[in-house]
Chains A and B, each alone.
Chain A
Amino acid sequence: MLDIVQVEKSFNIGTVNEKKALQNLNFHMNDGEFVTVIGGNGAGKSTMLNVITGVYKPEGGKIFLDGQDITYLEEWQRAKYLGRVFQDPMMGTAANMQIEENLALAYRRTKKRGLSWGISEKEKEYYRQSLARLDLGLEDRMTAKVGLLSGGQRQAVTLLMATLQKPKLLLLDEHTAALDPKTAEKVLDLTRELIEEEHLTTIMITHNMRDAIRMGTRLVMMHQGRIVYSVAGEEKKNLKVEDLLQKFSEVSNGEFANDRMLLL
């Protein structure tokens, strides 16, 4: 499904601030897998997603999706295959466009755009049904501007948009980090529902170790641009937050400088 082979990515090359974000990163995912990714700040989690989505092009290595080499494909070209939800709830939607217009943009993610109508009556019914399952009452506010929605509602809409056309790979970049605990929980429930129903292959970055353990089929830990720990199946189910902390302490030589990593 997804193959990241020996990918290298650095920032500020040739300056004193040079930082190796990804170092010889190798990562393989099978169809239908749901991987949660944890790691401290600067571990390379977001950079990994960004080389998959094409925001950054790596200096070395290759990325394959379903056997296709996408390493140098433009961001908008590979968007066809990828569903994305950003950390910032403002990033995933166009605030001054209506809810249904946003959904219509998402509906055309995999299609070539022409001069036919940007949204059709038939689609609207489909969007209404899709919105109804969010259980946020948005199906009655389809012509409202997205900017009027709360962060949680926007994130729920973004999630819906990412999966409206089934993506080959769903990428969630700490998509609940900016939400209050209750809303975060709701969005996570929705995430799980959508992934299970549609059997979506998913990568979810999170800072919440408990979520990382209880969700998904595999958990990986990143450190200094590499994957340092990967666990699946029974072993993952029995994992405890303490085990992860222990593991993290091992790979980082006992430095526990990063307090965000400690968030439970």
Chain B
Amino acid sequence: MNFLNTLQAGAAQGLWWAVMTLGVYISYRVLDAADLTVEGSFPLGAAVSVVCINAGMNPFLALLVAFVAGCLAGAVTGMLNTICRIPPILAGILTMIALYSVNIRIMSDRASITIAADSARTLLMHWLPITNGTWVSILGGIVTNALLVAVLYLFFGTEIGCAMRATGQNIHMARAMGIHTRWMTILGLMLSNGLVALSGSFVAQFDYGSAMATMGQGAIVIGLASVIIGEVLFCHKDRSFAFKLIAVVLGAVIYRCIIALALQLDFLKATDLKLITAVIVVFALSLPVLKKQFAQGKLRRENERKLNGGGGTEHA
């Protein structure tokens, strides 16, 4: 029973973090650049929306504000990268570090603020005939992710979406095809960080009940871990784009479940979370490589056995 509860809690959390994973997928896989802005735009989304909610704004509208704030953060990184020609990783780090100060300013010089009015969660619990908060999160998370996957799938099928994919894959070709690659990079990072900030707002409203300046720490690693887990478990290269997006969402949920289960173990503490995360990422990244090496070794041994065994007289 305890096991099931843990999984439910993990899934509820994972679904909200999955929104961030979709954003990370756009920068990491579509644009082909690991964007560290995530670490700053995640708490940015949380901070902005919590401040708005506390000022009396509708919590659902606050989600939209968070998205827009994230877009702006992404635009900054995009411009640092494409106009100032700062390499993508460094551009992301710069925005991330700057956002730390910005976020604390947004929260009126505090490191965290608690939601003091109705959040989206409390409103949903009020409207829906469900009393279990975890299930409200799971239900809301599923609907939200389904909507986002559908919208992203449609978007990446449009002319602009295709142009963005081409930019990430082969920038020379994209320019030769008349694609404004700078704008595509900026737009892609805006979309990516918009989703990340949206996720921050969801997590603040449904999980933490507050916004914290430090809540983005390790977010990029969590995002990458989720993307990779989803890819390793559910899809190989040739799957359709929609399938990949779904795989990424599932990856985020599974990641949270693994973490939740790991924390149930007696010898692990909450502060071990980052270590576990790093181990999971290393494991997920190296799994395909190890699999290949193992297969190769097996082939080699078989080959040698054939050569040695078949003829009988090897190397006279």
A residues near B (Cβ < 8 Å) are 53, 74-77, 79-80, 82, 84, 86, 90-97, 101, 104-106, 108-110, 113-119, 145, 161
Contact = CB atoms under 8 A, between A and B. Distances in A.
Contacts of A77: 178
B172 A79 contact: no
A212 B51 CA distance: 69
Given A94-B165, A94-B173, A76 B158 contact: no
Contacts of A91: 170, 172-173
B159 interface: yes
Contacts, number: 87
B158 A118 contact: yes
Interface in B99-118: none
Contacts of A86: 172
A94 B179 CA distance: 13
Contacts of B175: 75-76, 79
B181 A76 contact: yes
24 contacts: A77-B178, A79-B176, A79-B178, A86-B172, A91-B172, A92-B176, A94-B166, A94-B169, A94-B170, A97-B169, A105-B173, A108-B178, A109-B177, A113-B160, A113-B163, A113-B179, A114-B160, A115-B158, A115-B160, A117-B158, A117-B159, A118-B157, A118-B158, A161-B177
Nearest to A105: B177
Contacts of B237: 96, 145
Interface string B151-174: 000010111111101100110111
Contacts of A110: 178
Nearest to A158: B173
Given A76-B181, A94-B166, 19 more contacts: A75-B175, A75-B176, A79-B177, A80-B178, A91-B170, A94-B173, A94-B174, A95-B170, A96-B169, A96-B237, A97-B166, A105-B162, A105-B166, A105-B177, A108-B163, A108-B177, A113-B160, A117-B157, A117-B159
B180 interface: yes
B165 to A, nearest CB: 6
Interface residues of B, number: 24
B171 to A, nearest CB: 10
A140 B34 CA distance: 36
Contacts of B163: 105, 108, 113, 118
A145 B159 CA distance: 18
B245 to A, nearest CB: 15
Nearest to A108: B159
A77 B177 CA distance: 9
B266 interface: no
Contacts of A53: 176
B238 interface: yes
A104 B169 contact: no
Contact of B177 (A96, A106, A117, A119): A106
Lowest 6 CB-CB distances: which A-B pairs, in order? A118-B162, A79-B178, A113-B159, A94-B169, A109-B178, A75-B175
B170 A115 contact: no
A113 B175 CA distance: 13
Contacts of A109: 176-178
B159 A115 contact: yes
Contacts of A90: 170
Contacts of A119: 157, 162
A135 B158 CA distance: 30
Contacts of B176: 53, 75, 79, 82, 84, 92, 109
Contacts of B181: 76
Contact of B170 (A79, A93, A113, A118): A93
Contacts of B174: 76, 94, 105
